[in-house]
Structure 1
Amino acid sequence: MHVIATAGHVDHGKSALVRALTGIEPDRWDEERRRGLTIDLGYAWTTLPSGDRVAFVDVPGHQRFIGNMLAGVGPTSAVLFVVAADEGWRQQSQEHLAAVDALGIRHGLLVVTRSDLADPEPALLDARDRFAATSLGEVDAVAVSARTGEGMPALTDALERLVTGLPAPEQAGRLRLWVDRSFSIRGSGTVVTGTLATGSIAVGDELQVGDQRVRVRGLESLGEPRDRVLPVARVAVNLRGVAASEIARGDLLLTPDAWRMASVLDVRVGGRSAGDLPTHLSLHAGTAAVPVHVRPLAEDTVRLTLSTPLPLVAGDRLILRDPGAQQIVGGALVLDADPPELRRRGAAARRGAELESATGVPDLQREVERRGAMLVADAAALGIPNESDDAKVVRCGAWRVSGSALQRWAESLTRCVQQQAADEPLEPSLTIEAARLAAGVPDRALLPEVVERAGLELDQGRVWLPGVRAAMGAAERGLQELEGRLRHSPFAAPEQPDLAAAGIGPREVAAAVRAGRLLRLPDGVLLAPDAPARAMRVLAGLTQPFTLSEARQALDTTRRVAVPLLEHLDGRGWTRRVDGTHRVVVR
């Protein structure tokens, strides 16, 4: 299917033309038919002789309903532009062309209507001249009379040529369906409609609407029920899990957790110099319209702050409209949907200079380099390709990391560990979290890569200089004597007076534990690191099950040592309680 939006001044025959092409009345409301003008969006469809199916979004031409017009043309990629032969180019013709140009629509067809009432040639030549200066450029043109049928066969042929040249849609992408209508049907519940431009939608799919999760109960396209709909298509979606009053034009159906809601955008503007734009404008994207604050960055780039976040990505085209002056001021191409903050003096001008070469096509290497590191999921949500042949981008699990950032972090971490070792010989290492913060690494999962690049060591949850461990200083001799005693009597834990006499204070104990020279159990019990294994060899020789008293006697130790030691063995799964007083060795 192909979806084409109409455009043109009020009462120039857009709806009559659609009706003549399709046999369907696009005006849905009684007031529209009574007044003879389109107020809201209308829809109709037909099958061309080639078999291609075309759906038309019939937009209002009256100036009062320009917002509805922008909602209709926004999600489409082709336009059927209508000018009446007897009236020629008018005010809304110009505003509709400005909207088409702002969106960068390149595929279109000019139709001069009411050729039975006036010579169509002047209107045709005038419109073609105006088109030439816009994104439409040169387009096919046909003069018709919907009343007499004159020119209708030529229009059908021109439509065939138009749809043949339309770009193929992306069917495998994530879903972003802009809602243009929401209503309730008795027995079915909530139904929304929209133009499906990318991705696909199927019955049973779970989708996201704002903060809610909803389920697709049913689908309809061109008046027929469907199990699955592919782009490009007009689609009606029956939703379970949301009331019709909770969803309206401008809302979206999204693939869950696949989009980032952007509240700040850097864009390239067309139509006016950035410095001449009003500070407050209305941004139109898809079927949504939200107020934005405008901050110039350079001659043709500005920063937009949205009053309501939208799921926009680099490459999206927007319309900027001045609601006070009631006119379109230009189009905007999204260059960055996750731009850096502007904190320092001159930051806006520097950011403008950075964006001079931006094209709206996101580049992984450039985006990762700016951030230092980027989660794969975040890149995907921003529409940034996750694969790169650039050696400057390093893949680290769920992250993409800039090689220069890795080197910078490695150098910073080395300096910090060296400083720690010099200042605190008893604690010459940094914990993983302290190391991460010191080096500025965004996630602990990246630290092993940084440690390896720096040539440091990651051991026992700490980062060390190669071969460097705690320097015990004057306490080294006392610690060695304690280690000797524990080798001979592994369960004779030293008392506090013994430690004090050996010159071993709390800091020295902590350093020895970190270095793996002592094992600390609850209640301040200190043993050799191999004490649990040696205890197991003794306990395995006891009659099973055994009591605490039997274990204490076999280990030749005190209750003060036996209780935390046995609890330690329980915790490691080497022994197991069988009742309140007995344990067994787990074999």
Structure 2
Amino acid sequence: MSKRYFTIGMAGHIDHGKTTLTKALTNVDTDRLKEEKERQISIELGFAPLYEDQELQISVVDVPGHERFIRQMIAGVAGIDLVVLVVAADEGVMPQTHEHLQILELLGVKNGIIAITKINRVEEEFIDLVKDDILEELKGTVFENAPFMLVDSITKQGICDLKNMIINDLKKLGQRDIRGAFRLPIDQVFTVRGQGTVVRGTVFEGTVEEGQALMIMPKGLETRARQLQVHHKPAKHAFAGQRTAINLAGITKEELQRGDVLVSSEQFIVSDTIDVALQVVSDLDYIVKQRMPIKCHIGTAEVMGRIVFFDRNEVKDEEREILCQIRLEEEIVTKRGDRFIIRRPSPQETIGGGWVIEPKGEKYRFGNNTVEELERKKEGTPTERILAVLKEAKSLSKQELLKRASITGAELETCEHNNEIYFYGGKEFTLFSIYETINQEIDERLQDFHNKYPLKQGMNKAELIQLISKGYPRKLAEFVLEQGIDESDFGKIDQFIFGKGFSPYIPKNWQKRVENMLIDMSRDGYKVKYLNDYLSKAGIPNDMVTDLKRFLEETHEIISLDAQFYWCIDHFTAAVERVKSETSLEFEIGEAKDILNLSRKYMIPFLERLDELGYTKRVENKRLWQPIVK
């Protein structure tokens, strides 16, 4: 797919013109709440479409600037590809400018543009002073060389130039990973009359399509993407980097909250203990103490927890990365490499941030040994990174594996002979343990199916693959199944899959009833009742009827004349031999009626069945015996 999807963020101090600038760029007022209109400040995240052509689609997130709404700000910038840092020309760098800048760096946002707004309010010489003020603030940060744009949102001065700069900068970026499992951290939940519950967020990775089965984690709720919208327009698909609204089936608004994550599979890790690489901000006002309460912001979630150090008991000034652990009061959805922010609850202060080394940490002893172990986890050998990535993704192509494990082709080659890594289908990688787990799951699902439906030949292949694909990539599930069939772990007849050595059977507690039914049918000979009458008299439950009919036909106990009448196979065979022996090469209905002493009610279905089986061929009012009886 050639088209790329990006989301940019507007960040900066309150009342520096982020929302007005967003409106100037997009012609959309992102302050939609009554309170926002009355107070003239952004409280919730605002979104707007910025640009779209054949190559790009760009959305804007306008984040609140007030310090009381830092939570919304962090949720908004999580997952953006470029930030426009807004600084008003008449005020310069302010506290929230500084804090937003810290948060952007800690979240790993590397692409930025500095927009100096309200330039018509000040003299040109003052703008130069503001520039110097900003450059001083940016010194030593990833935005140190970010370009400046001078704009006035009311007169539209510089707006076109800023928009073009955004577009050109994003054209230089690579596309996010639209393959693999879908993940969307939810930042808004609301209801639409007549539609139900709708969630919004930026697609972090993967692709979602209309009608797709999804899960809400960490709650474990199952749902379905009833409808999708991108830029307020219906869409069949949404891709990584897009702002997306999804109408969810079977879920109420009250069941969801900001911070929940919408995913396409259960492969994402749910955890309340994460091992992290933490970078503390350079200007902490207060000492960070061992096990002190903190607020952890990750994705769009805000969760209370405690910070646990293994080589110190407090931090005030520290330029180096600290390897430590965050123990949370609630479970979150995360993976290796996810960025996070931690803040002091009271007095409120951004402590620092970093990235997740191990999403499912354990309890460790205090001491350097633990720090050294975390360092090994952080660095990881190529093999360790491959194993970690495949454990999460389950299956990856060579290019995907190189990218996600951050290794070279040569490093991959040295690891390919590792007995834990399995190369399959000539182009995909997985783990032997995953292969064996899928094989075992197939076997268990087949055994469960046979126990529940012992009369059926087996499970429909498409249904089996669909069930396995809920937890594993479809192509991998199909490969394991085909290998299992080739190696006789499973059997296959037509589209039905069955466990090794399985044959359909009548459950023991129903065998006597079926036997009595067949005796009744045999006793009635050719002049049988409707088959359903025999089944009902024998006490066969309705949910067994269809399978039992098929089973008795496949095991040659009975044969259908039509949808209502069935004969025991012995009687049918005897009738065929008797009519054939007492007629010539061709015969009429009347001859057969006299031989078997049957009415047309039975005779017509019987003769038509002979035609279907190829025993006879009808020519006008006569039937001809065929030379080869099938």
Contact 1:75–1:287 (Cα < 8 Å) also in 2:
no
**Alignment partner of 2:142: what SS?**
coil
- 8 Å contact 1:176–1:252 — kept in the other structure? yes
- Structure 2 residue 50 is the aligned partner of structure 1 residue 46: yes
Measure the CA separation in 1 of the matches of 2:91 and 2:54. Answer: 34
| Contact residue 6 and residue 81 of structure 2 kept, 8 A | no
Quick one: structure 1 residues 52 and 288, their matched pair in 2 at CA, closer, same or farther if it must change by over 3 Å?
same
Match of 2:145 in 1: 138
Instruction: Please state how far the C-alpha of 1:142 moved relative to its aligned partner.
Output: 0.3
Rounded to whole Å, the distance in 1 between the matches of 2:213 and 2:187 is 20
| Deviation for aligned residue 1:168 | 1.5
- The answer as to whether partners of 1:95 and 1:327 remain within 8 angstroms in 2 is no
Q: Shift of residue 120 of structure 1?
A: 2.3
**CA–CA separation in structure 2 for the residues paired with 1:272 and 1:150:** 36
- Which residue in the other structure is 2:83 paired with? 79
Question: Hey, what does 1:365 align to over in structure 2?
Answer: 384
What residue in structure 1 maps to residue 374 of structure 2?
355
* Maintained 8 Å contact 2:118/2:153: yes
Which residue, 273, 280, 284 being the options, matches 2:293? 280
Residues 1:294 and 2:307 aligned together? yes
Whether 2:277 is the aligned partner of 1:268: answer yes
CA contact (8 A) 1:335 1:360 kept: no
Distance in 2, matches of 1:237 and 1:276, equals 40
Q: Give 2:159's aligned amino acid.
A: M
Shift of 1:137: 3.3
Q: 1:207 to 1:362 in 2, by over 3 A?
A: farther
Go from structure 1 to structure 2 and tell me whether the alpha carbon gap of 1:380 and 1:283 turns closer, same or farther (over 3 Å shift).
farther
- TM-score (norm: length of structure 2): 0.58
Residues in 1 aligned to 2:59 and 2:44: alpha-carbon distance in whole angstroms: 16
1:362–1:110 Cα change, 3 Å = farther
Q: Are the structure 2 counterparts of residues 396 and 108 from structure 1 closer, same or farther at C-alpha, using a change threshold of 3 Å? A: closer
What letter matches 2:244 in structure 1?
A: V
> Do structure 1's residue 59 and structure 2's residue 59 form an aligned pair?
no
Match of 1:156 among 163, 170, 177: 163
Instruction: For residues 348-370 of structure 1, give each alpha carbon's deviation from its aligned partner in whole angstroms, at most 9, with x where no partner exists.
Output: 421212233554778543686xx
2:243 is the alignment partner of 1:234: yes
Which of 222, 227, 244 does residue 231 from structure 2 map onto?
Answer: 222
**Cα contact 1:179–1:193 (8 A) shared by 2:** yes
Contact kept, 8 Å, 2:66 with 2:96, in 1: the verdict is yes
**Does the 8 Å contact 1:45/1:222 carry over to 2?**
yes
Counterpart pick for 1:213 among 207, 222, 234: 222
Residue correspondence of structure 1 range 250-265 to structure 2 within 5 A: 250-265=259-274
The residue number in structure 1 matching 2:32 is 28
5+ unaligned residues in a row in structure 1: which ranges? 369-373, 402-577, 579-587
Contact 1:182/1:249 (8 A) holds in 2: yes
Write the distance in 2 (CA, Å) between the matches of 1:351 and 1:136. 34
Aligned length: 394
| Alignment RMSD | 3.0
Pick closer, same or farther for the CA change 1:166–1:128 going to 2, 3 Å.
Answer: farther
How big is the shift at 1:380? 4.0
* Cα distance change of structure 1 residues 189 and 148 upon mapping to structure 2, 3 Å threshold: same
- Structure 2 CA distance for partners of 1:391 and 1:335, relative to 1, 3 Å: same
* Structure 2: distance between partners of 1:150 and 1:261: 48
> Aligned pair 1:390/2:415, yes or no?
yes
How far 1:257 sits from its partner (Å)? 1.4
- Partner of 1:218, secondary structure, is strand
Distance 2:395 2:361 in 1: 14
**Over residues 188-232 of structure 1, what are the superposed CA-to-partner deviations in whole Å (9 max), with x where a residue is unaligned?**
111110011210110111110121110110000011100111121
Write the distance in 2 (CA, Å) between the matches of 1:234 and 1:108.
19
State the secondary structure of the residue aligned to 1:311.
Answer: strand
Distance change (3 Å), C-alpha of 1:366 and 1:161: closer
CA apart distance, 1:86:
0.1
| Closer, same or farther: CA 206–159 of 1 in aligned 2, 3 Å | same
Alignment partner of 1:184 out of 191, 197, 208? 191
Asked if 2 retains the 8 angstrom alpha-carbon contact of 1:3 and 1:78, the reply is yes
Q: Cα offset for 1:104?
A: 1.4
The alignment status of 1:4 with 2:8, answered yes or no, reads yes
Q: Contact conserved, 1:109 with 1:162, CA < 8 A, in 2?
A: no
- Cα deviation, residue 38, structure 1: 0.4
| 2:209 maps to 1:202 | yes
1:392-424 CA distance string (max 9 Å, x none): 8313888658xxxxxxxxxxxxxxxxxxxxxxx
CA distance in 2, matches of 1:362, 1:237: 39
Question: Higher mean Cα deviation, 266-275 or 328-337?
Answer: 266-275
Query: Displacement of 1:260 after TM fit?
Result: 1.4
Instruction: For 2:6, give the aligned amino acid.
Output: H
How many Å separate the matches in 1 of 2:213 and 2:64?
33
Indicate conservation of the 8 Å contact 1:264/1:306, yes or no.
yes
CA deviation string 1:316-366 (max 9, x = no partner): 111111111211111121111233432xx55x4212122335547785436
Contact 1:258–1:381, Cα closer than 8 Å, also in 2: no
Contact 1:113 1:144 in 2 (8 A): yes
SS of aligned partner of 1:11:
coil
The answer for the alignment partner of 1:324 in structure 2 is: 346
**Which secondary structure does the structure 2 equivalent of 1:153 belong to?**
helix
Separation (CA, whole Å) in 2 of partners of 1:25 and 1:381:
43
In 1, distance between residues paired with 2:390 and 2:107? 29
* Offset of residue 270 of structure 1: 0.7
Counterpart in the other structure of 2:325? 303
